[in-house]
Amino acid sequence: VSGLKKHFPVKNEIGQKSAVVKAVDDVSFKLYEGKTLGLVGESGCGKSTTGRTILRLTEPTSGSALFKGKDIFQLKGDELRKARQDLQMVFQDPFSSLNPRKRIGEILEEPLVIHKLGTKAERTEKVMEILYKVGLNVDHYYRYPHEFSGGQRQRIVLARALILNPKIIVCDEPVSALDVSTQAQIVNLLRDLQEDLKLTYLFIAHDISVVRHISDQIGVMYLGNIVEYTDTDNIFAEPLHPYTQALLSAVPHPNPTMKRERIILKGEIPSPLNPPSGCVFHPRCPMATDICKQAVPVNKEARPGHFVRCHLY
Ligand code: SF4
Ligand code: MG
pLDDT band of 252, cuts 50, 70, 90: confident
Three-class SS of the chain = CEEEEEEEEEECCCCCEEEEEEEEEEECCCCCCCCEEEEECCCCCCHHHHHHHHCCCCCCCEEECEECCEEHHHCCHHHHHHHHHHEEEECCCCCCCCCCCCCHHHHHHHHHHHCCCCCHHHHHHHHHHHHHHCCCCHHHHHCCHHHCCHHHHHHHHHHHHHCCCCCEEEEECCCCCCCHHHHHHHHHHHHHHHHHHCCEEEEEECCHHHHHCCCCEEEEEECCEEEEEEEHHHHHHCCCCHHHHHHHHCCCCCCCCCCCCCCCCCCCCCCCCCCCCCCCCHHHCCCCCHHHHHCCCCEEEEECCEEEECCCC
Global pTM reads: 0.93
ipTM: 0.97
Ligand 1 pocket, 285 CB below 6 A?
A: yes
Ligand 1 pocket, 63 CB below 6 A?
A: no
Output the residue whose Cα is nearest ligand 1's atom 7. Answer: 282
**Cα–ligand 1 centroid distance for 285 (angstroms):** 6
Ligand 1 pocket, 310 CB below 6 A?
A: yes
Nearest-atom number in ligand 1 for the CA of 282 is 7
Tell which wins on pLDDT, 36 or 262. 36
**Cα–ligand 2 centroid distance for 258 (angstroms):** 32
**Cα–ligand 2 centroid distance for 42 (angstroms):** 9
Task: List pLDDT tens digits, range 201-226.
Answer: 999 999 998 899 899 999 999 999 99
Ligand 1 pocket, 282 CB below 6 A?
A: yes
Task: List pLDDT tens digits, range 46-62.
Answer: 999 999 999 999 999 99
The domain spanning residue 181 has which CATH number? 3.40.50.300
Number of domains in the chain: 1
Task: List pLDDT tens digits, range 96-154.
Answer: 788 999 999 999 999 999 999 999 999 999 999 999 999 998 899 999 999 999 999 99
**Average pLDDT in the chain:** 92
Domain encompassing residue 73: 2-309
